[in-house]
Amino acid sequence: MDLVKNLCGQLDQMVNNQFDSVEFKALLDLPLTLERGRFYVVQNALYTSNRRDCWGYVQGAAPLDVKRVIWEHESDELINDPRAGMDHYNLTVKQGEVIGLKREDFDNAQVPAMVHACFHAWHHIAMRSHWLTAYTASHMLERRNNGKIVKGGGMSYRVGKKFENELGINLKRMISLDVHVVADMEHSENISEMFEKYAKTPEDCERVLEGARESMAIDRAYRGALGFYMERIN
């Protein structure tokens, strides 16, 4: 139990550290314009699709009871989140309407080169690592979005607040960001329970930490890439 408690403490520290990184600061300190906001929202839909890929791969490799937890998790994301009355991709598209985006903007969106590389990196971990490493890599992105763990709020909350403070769009109207403020608390807690069952030895913990470190590094690169591209949008 102490092993898992200690492990979760390290994971919590890592997700908090993300927000002190140069890449996260560059993105979150960048003044938001409507065009930059549109870019972010479209890119976020592609990020959501990449999450669906990775969770599928993790489900493929995981033990049966973990597969079931992931399947339930994917119900909100892929089929219908009762909090929103739709799946999360459609939720993002609907959110886009608030800032003048149409479905075609999402369907025709291009993945910028640096983002493309990050998506491939996440795929690689999800498909090629030990399942516990792959599982943690995907889980960490939801843990990093959990406002109960991240001091000052998770990523969705902070970005939502930027839309509110800098563009005057209330967080409640940014329905996808708003749902994720709550959904990722639940998701990261449900998923986290699996560590108690499967992180039994120092080797298991190292597999978990390896997934966490790798995913957080890609996450920093990804956020840095978004900041880089957004800075070039006037």
Partner 1 sequence: MAAGAIGLENMWRELVRLCNEQFESRPFTRLLNSKITKLRAQHYSIQMAYYVQNRRDCWGYVQGSAPLPVKQIVWRHEEDELVGRKAQGKVDHITLAIKEGEVFGLSAEAFEKTARLDGGEVCFSAWIHLAQKSWLEAIAASAILEMRNSGELVEGGSLSRRIAAIFERDLGIPMKKQVNNAEHVVMDVEHAHLLMQVAKRYATTPSAQEAILCGARESLMIDRVYRGHLADMLESLD
What are the counts of helices (DSSP H) followed by strands (DSSP E) for the chain?
Answer: 11, 0
| Contact (CB, 8 A) for 151 and 16 | yes
Nearer to partner 1, 60 or 202 (CB): 60
| Contact (CB, 8 A) for 91 and 175 | yes
Nearer to partner 1, 87 or 214 (CB): 87
Q: How far is the CB of 210 from partner 1 (least distance, A)?
A: 20
Return the DSSP state at 102. Answer: -
Nearer to partner 1, 162 or 187 (CB): 187
B/e letters for 173-192, b = 16+ CB within 10 Å, e = fewer, are ebbbbbbbbebbbebbeebb
CA 145/CA 90 separation, integer angstroms? 20
Q: How far is the CB of 197 from partner 1 (least distance, A)?
A: 16
Q: How far is the CB of 57 from partner 1 (least distance, A)?
A: 4
Tell me if 130 contacts partner 1 by CB under 8 A.
Answer: no
| Contact (CB, 8 A) for 222 and 143 | no
Token pair for residue 53?
């890929």
Token pair for residue 60?
């493929």
The mark string for 36-75 relative to partner 1 (x by CB under 8 A, - otherwise) is: -------------x--xxxxxxxxxxx-x--xx--xx-xx
| Contact (CB, 8 A) for 152 and 144 | no
Nearer to partner 1, 56 or 112 (CB): 56
Choice from 78, 109, 114, 182 touching partner 1 (CB under 8 A):
78
With 0-12 / 13-18 / 19 or more C-beta atoms within 10 angstroms meaning exposed / middle / buried, residue 90 is: middle
Q: Total residues contacting partner 1 (rule CB under 8 A)? A: 25
Nearer to partner 1, 52 or 161 (CB): 52
3-state secondary structure 32-66: CCHHHHHHHHHHHHHHHHHHHHHHHHHHHHCCHHH
Nearer to partner 1, 1 or 64 (CB): 64
The mark string for 82-121 relative to partner 1 (x by CB under 8 A, - otherwise) is: -----x-x--------------------------------
> What is the separation, in whole angstroms, between the first and last Cα of the chain?
51
Q: How far is the CB of 54 from partner 1 (least distance, A)?
A: 7
CA 196/CA 3 separation, integer angstroms? 9
Q: How far is the CB of 93 from partner 1 (least distance, A)?
A: 11
Nearer to partner 1, 33 or 80 (CB): 80
Q: How far is the CB of 46 from partner 1 (least distance, A)?
A: 11
What is the binding site for partner 1 (CB under 8 A)? Answer: 49, 52-62, 64, 67-68, 71-72, 74-75, 78-79, 87, 89, 126-127
